[in-house]
Structure 1
Amino acid sequence: MNTEKAVNKQPKYINPYLGGVLLGLLILATVFVTGRGLGASGAIKSAVVTTSNTVAPSATKANDYMGKFVSDDHSPMYTWLVFESLGVLLGGLLSGLIFGRVGKFRTDHGPKITSKKRWILAIIGGALFGLGSQFGRGCTSGAALSGTATFALGGVIVMFGIFGTGYIIAYFFRKLWI
């Protein structure tokens, strides 16, 4: 068997150490340019407010939370967080296309779980994560990465909380993957 050919067919990823350094530099640049760190949950909030305002404008304006984001001269979608999230989405797609990671659509799963169950668990997990980001006033990239990068105690606590909870929860779900 030609091992060189087999290795070359595997998808290519950036070196994780280089990726970490680049992410750190990106956070530093973002804090320097915008005065705040990275985050994506604000973009989801903007999309929800815009959708609500399109469907029921009077109810959205009357809502205590969403009403403060609605104005006649400024769209909630016109914020740098929306453009950041679109850039992440398009950058990931471009990277996948360039390095051959985009192909046939498939759902990765372990031998003891079906694709359908994997999707259900992923949707439930994503919904809980999104709900938690609103209770926590930010997503992991905003709270953990940017908070830790600015030496905020809250960022360090969030980072330990995220990874600690992840390890605890993974213990109960590991048999689905191995």
Structure 2
Amino acid sequence: MRNATGVTDSAHRVAQAARPSSAQPAPQRQPPTRPPTCKNRALAFELHPMIAETWLPPLAGGLLIGAAAALLLVLTGRIAGISGMLRGLVLGPERGMRVLFLLGLVLGAGLMGYGQGSLPQARSGFPPVLLVLGGLLVGLGSGMARGCTSGHGVCGLARRSRRSVIAVGIFMGTAVLTTYVVRHLGGIQ
């Protein structure tokens, strides 16, 4: 049945039910809640704490390494390979620049540890003799590859060096194989 306005009784009842009655107050609109603020006020945007703790330090480190490598290449024409810097410190010319570069690596790590409140620790439960042996093998491999992961991985790949692509593939493959052997066959976690 239609009323005077032409609306059926059932449609009128649905519309009445949808309207809040005078006995029930209209729900108050809540202001939007803001996520908790990040402790680092230098960030222009807010990040989830897990992202800030796990992704930002490596990202910042990678950007700083890339910027340092680019600056060294532009200003001196030298590649920022750590093994080459160390080898040149012992055997080559321009020792002053090499000392400053290597000193910057050590002091930078120390400042980062001081800023975070703790320095990196060696793996607990890992035999120290294996750490020393691993370091010696990395040094031997760097010499055989005529460069290390920073020289080939950061600078060489950025320059699209074929030799660096091959070296990084060998580095990564050896790392995966070594991790498998040490953890699964050697039982060292």
- TM-score by length of structure 1 reads 0.64
Of residues 159-168 and 32-41 in structure 1, the stretch that sits farther from structure 2 once superposed is: 32-41
Post-superposition Cα deviations, 1:41-85, rounded to whole Å, max 9, x if no partner, equal 234335555xxxxxxxxxxxxxxxxxxx4xxxxxx5724233211
For 2:112 and 2:131, how far apart are their aligned partners in 1? 23
**Residue number among 93, 114, 123 corresponding to 1:108 in the alignment:** 123
Q: Counterparts in 2 of 1:116-131, with a 5 A limit?
A: 117=127, 119-131=128-140
Q: Is the 8 A contact 1:24 1:149 kept in 2?
A: no
Higher alpha-carbon deviation: 131-140 or 21-30: 21-30
Counterparts in 2 of 1:92 and 1:33: CA distance versus 1, 3 Å: same
Residue in 2 aligned with 1:92? Answer: 109
Unaligned runs of 5+ in 2: 1-48
Query: Paired residues, what number?
Result: 134
Distance in 2 of aligned mates of 1:46 and 1:32: 19
What pairs with 1:22-41 in structure 2 (closer than 5 Å)? 22-41=64-83
Indicate if the aligned counterparts of 1:46 and 1:82 stay in contact, CA closer than 8 A.
no
Which of 76, 84, 87 lines up with 1:42 in the alignment?
A: 84
CA-based RMSD: 2.6
Task: Determine if contact 2:145/2:167 at 8 Å carries over to the other structure.
Answer: no
**Distance in 2 of aligned mates of 1:16 and 1:140:** 16
Greater RCO structure (CA 8 Å; 6+ sep):
1
Q: 1:29 to 1:41 in 2, by over 3 A?
A: same
Q: Distance in 1 between matches of 2:89 and 2:65?
A: 25
TM alignment of 1:1-178, pairs within 5 A:
14-46=56-88, 48-49=90-91, 69=92, 78-102=95-119, 107-109=122-124, 114-115=125-126, 117=127, 119-174=128-183, 175-177=187-189
| Contact 1:145 1:155 survives alignment (8 Å) | no
| Distance (Å, rounded) in 1 between the aligned partners of 2:67 and 2:178 | 31
Displacement after TM superposition at 1:151 (Å): 1.2
- Aligned partners of 2:110 and 2:153: how far apart in 1? 25
Paired AA for residue 32 in structure 1: V
> Kindly tell me: are residues 122 and 145 of structure 1, through their superposed partners in 2, closer, same or farther at Cα, counting changes over 3 Å?
same
- Which sections of structure 1, spanning at least 5 residues, go unmatched? 1-7, 50-68, 70-75
- The percentage of counterpart residues that share the same residue type is 32
Runs of 4+ aligned residues of structure 1 deviating over 6 Å after TM superposition are: none
> How far, CA to CA, are the matches of 1:21 and 1:43 in structure 2?
20
* Higher Cα radius of gyration: 2
Amino acid corresponding to residue 153 of structure 1 in structure 2 = R
